[in-house]
Chain A
């Protein structure tokens, strides 16, 4: 079945450590996204990528980094510079162009807790 796989589902990190969240999709979608969700709040865009080897900052990119070396993969690194990294992280993808039905397809999310 096609879909988006995020791992790990739960992750604990000590302060000062970098951590990388994985996102893999087999939907053949061009665009991929990372969102952050805090309790009781909406989604805030961290980074997005429309094509391999290219990505753009979203609204809250500080303290995060990404790479897009393959179409299928868009890992997110939460660096020690991110002051409040405890949150729920959602990866998503979408089709670009006229074939698109418009919507985002989401993974199941990763819960990061900083101890």
Chain B
């Protein structure tokens, strides 16, 4: 069974600094998707970044980037130049492939941003 593990329940970062959130997953598949979602206090789930497993290049979206290590089954999220608005819960998620409709979520990491 696929599992997603986020080993850091809570992290803190100083404004303007960089922070990395960890995620590992377990799968025997070669083709799959990985995601990071942000859930601010409003509780709306917002997609931060996606990675397709067949792509070797790490995905980036402005200040957000990932370190995707397929062999190690690791998918960490790096937030550069942290802003107060980045404070939220962050969830890592896995989807087997576009014809498979179950998503697996980690337990989340609460990110605090200090001014």
Contact = CB atoms under 8 A, between A and B. Distances in A.
Given A88-B43, A108-B43, A103 B33 contact: yes
Interface stretch (B45-53, B65-73, B78-86): B45-53
A107 B20 CA distance: 27
Given A102-B33, A103-B50, A108-B43, A41 B107 contact: yes
A61 interface: no
A98 B98 contact: yes
A96 interface: yes
Contact of A43 (B42, B50, B105): B105
B99 interface: yes
Contacts of B50: 101-103
A42 B107 contact: yes
A105 B37 CA distance: 10
Interface size class of A (residues with CB under 8 A): 20 to 34
A96 B101 contact: yes
Contact of A96 (B43, B93, B98, B103): B98
B47 A94 contact: no
Nearest to A104: B103
B63 interface: no
Interface in B77-115: 91, 93, 95, 98-99, 101-103, 105-108, 110
A31 interface: yes
Given A42-B91, A43-B91, A97 B101 contact: no
A45 B101 contact: no
B97 to A, nearest CB: 8
A74 interface: no
Contacts of A101: 50
Given A41-B108, A42-B106, A102-B50, A108 B44 contact: yes
Interface of B: 33, 35, 37, 42-45, 47, 50, 52, 91, 93, 95, 98-99, 101-103, 105-108, 110
13 contacts: A33-B103, A40-B110, A42-B106, A45-B103, A48-B101, A96-B98, A101-B50, A102-B35, A103-B47, A104-B35, A106-B44, A106-B45, A108-B44
